[in-house]
Amino acid sequence: MTPTTPIAGTVSPDFATPWRRLARGRSVVHSDPDWDALAGAGWVARIMSEEVTDRAHAKQGRSIGRWTLTRGGRTLVVYLKRHYVLPRRLGLLAALFPSQPWSPGLEEWRNLAWAQANGIPVPRTAAVGELRGPWGRLQSFLATEELTDMLPLHEAIPRARDRMPAEAFVTWKRGLLAELARLSREFHRRGAFHQDLYLCHFYVADADIGRSPTEWAGRVVVIDFHRLAHRKIWAWWWQAKDLGQLLYSTFDVPGVTDDDRRRFWALYRGGDWSGSSPPPEWVARVARRRARRYEQHNAKVRARIAG
């Protein structure tokens, strides 16, 4: 398989004939220089078979794990997502229409590039590839740099509550809520929906836990873009889904109050909706119903597992 190297978020033109791509395969690979230096020569041929055991999870032909690369006194820590066996029809489509992403790895990379271009902080992509083998065989990988010394919000908020005096904690939350509202609005006013908009997918630096930054913009990083979708039809439904997920994820998080939830909605709805319109009030009601539905569903799942 012959690799090609596209620019960030796009797939380079491929001028080989469809027959050549189908019979021989032609992979799409992008990597940063530090990754190339640390992964070593020939890493593309090894990437799908490398043993990654740290915080590893695998199911249904895919895996994710934390991988530490070390060479010459330099270190890079990434989370490596791999899809080992993708539907052959996608591989055939990749041979016919090579300028489009046809795998989860390349699709998420494109989504990360879109988010970054629109002012949403995301992890750096160190390497990504769509391995297009002969006769429709298709695999993909995505390596994103670890958010070192950062915590997801469902852990950061309780920690801030424990570290800070009560009044300072309230001030800290207000700044954080404003940034959460801004980030959510940046997705939605562009017709983009994360579809996994939970607190655990927002990260803040440990250094910002226990002190109130003078400016929160750019200090909260969003992860997991594999389900990002752009919708024009029934956008309010997708909006309520995202907001319902975010609301549900605040339940049982120490330090989050009903006042915080109401403040978030006011900040979210009352901010800059350039290019779109603020959501009507009933979207909040739909989001609350969805959050309760998530809560009921997960309670049943926990009971079934426990029983």
Domains assigned to the chain: 18-145 (no CATH), 150-306 (1.10.510.10)
Q: How confident is the model at residue 55 (pLDDT cuts 50, 70, 90)?
A: very high
126 exposure class (CB count in 10 Å sphere: 0-12, 13-18, 19+):
buried
pLDDT at position 3 is 38
pLDDT at position 284 is 96
CA distance 106 to 87: 15
Share of the chain above pLDDT 90, in %: 84
Q: Is the pLDDT confidence value at 5 over 60?
A: no
**Model pTM score:** 0.91
The string of pLDDT tens digits covering residues 139-189 is 999 999 999 999 999 999 999 999 999 999 999 999 999 999 999 999 999
